[in-house]
Amino acid sequence: MDTVNSCTASDRVNTPILNQEQLTVIRNLDLSCGDELVNKILQVFLETSVDLTRQIEDAINNEDAESLRHAAHTLKSSAANVGAESISVIAQKLELCGKSGEFGQVGQLLDNLQQRYQKVITEIKQILKQS
């Protein structure tokens, strides 16, 4: 309960949907090609994160702890890499639920994730469209 509350509390904090600093870091990794790398990373995130969120949903529906843990673990890492820190934080909590097999709070976390996720992909699509 506490974990979920603190999670939602942090969600309410006015954090940006995508951390622009992280995108700058990525941009700096390959200055020669402008936004190409950022766009490529955001594109693959779009493609893979859809599967991952679906896997998380399925794992929760099936109460498959191991699948939940693994999918959440991967999403945690990917989201962090594109600066979607809120998603990464929620994924980390889901990963812990998967690890412990505690499914009590997962519904709430999944709702939060889906809300956040929609915002993130909207933002990403916006960025990709602009470039």
Partner 1 sequence: MSADAFKVLLADDDITVRYLMQAALEQAGLSVTLACDGEEAIRMFDASPHDMVMLDVEMPRKNGYEVCSYLRKKIGNELPIIMVTGMDDVQSVDHAFDVGATDFISKPINWSLIRYRILYLKRAYLNLLDLKLANARGRAIFSAIPDAMFILDNGGVVVDTLNLSEKTFSLKVKLGNSLSHTLPTNIFQIYLNALQKARLKKTVEHFEYQLKPDELNTLHFESRIVTINTQETLCLVRDITNRVDSENKIFHLAYFDVLTGLPNRQSFMERLEQEIARAQYINNRFAMLYLDLDGFKGINDAIGHNTGDLILKSAASRLKNTTHSLDFSPYDAKPHGQLSQPAADIARIGGDEFTIVMPNLQRAEDALIMAHRIRQVMQQPFHLGDRDVVLTASIGIAFYPDDGEDAETLLKHADTAMYHAKDEGRNNCQFYSSTFTHQAEKRLNLENGLRNALLQNQFFLVYQPQMDIATGKFLSVEALIRWQHPAQGFISPLDFIPLAEENGLIIPIGEWALRTACAEAMEWLKKGFNIRVSVNLSPLQFKNPDLVKSVMGILSETGFPPSNLVLEVTESALMDYNAEILNTINTLRSHNIEISLDDFGTGYSSMNYLMHLPINNIKVDKSFVDGMLDDGKSLAIIRSIISLSKNLNFTVTAEGIELLEQANVLKKLGCDYLQGYYFSKPVRSGEITDFLRKQHPIETVQILRNTS
As measured in angstroms, the least distance from the Cβ of 16 to partner 1 is: 17
| Residue 21 or 111 with smaller CB distance to partner 1 | 21
Supply the minimum distance, in Å, between the C-beta of residue 85 and partner 1: 9
Helix (H) or strand (E) holding 120: helix 106-130
Binding site for partner 1 (CB under 8 A): 25-26, 28-30, 37, 40-41, 44-45, 48, 70, 73-74, 77-78, 80-82, 88
Query: In whole angstroms, how close is the CB of 48 to partner 1 at the nearest point?
Result: 6
- What Cα–Cα distance (Å) separates residue 110 from each residue in 33, 57, 89, 131? 37, 7, 12, 31
Q: How far apart are alpha carbons 17 and 117 in whole angstroms?
A: 9
Q: Which is nearer to partner 1, 16 or 44 (CB)?
A: 44
Q: Which is nearer to partner 1, 27 or 108 (CB)?
A: 27
Contact 97, 105 (CB under 8 A): yes
Torsion sign, CA atoms 118, 14, 129, 20: negative
How many other CB atoms are found less than 10 A from the CB of residue 6? 11
Residue 79 CB, shortest distance to partner 1, in Å, is 9
Query: Which of 1, 100 has the CB closer to partner 1?
Result: 100
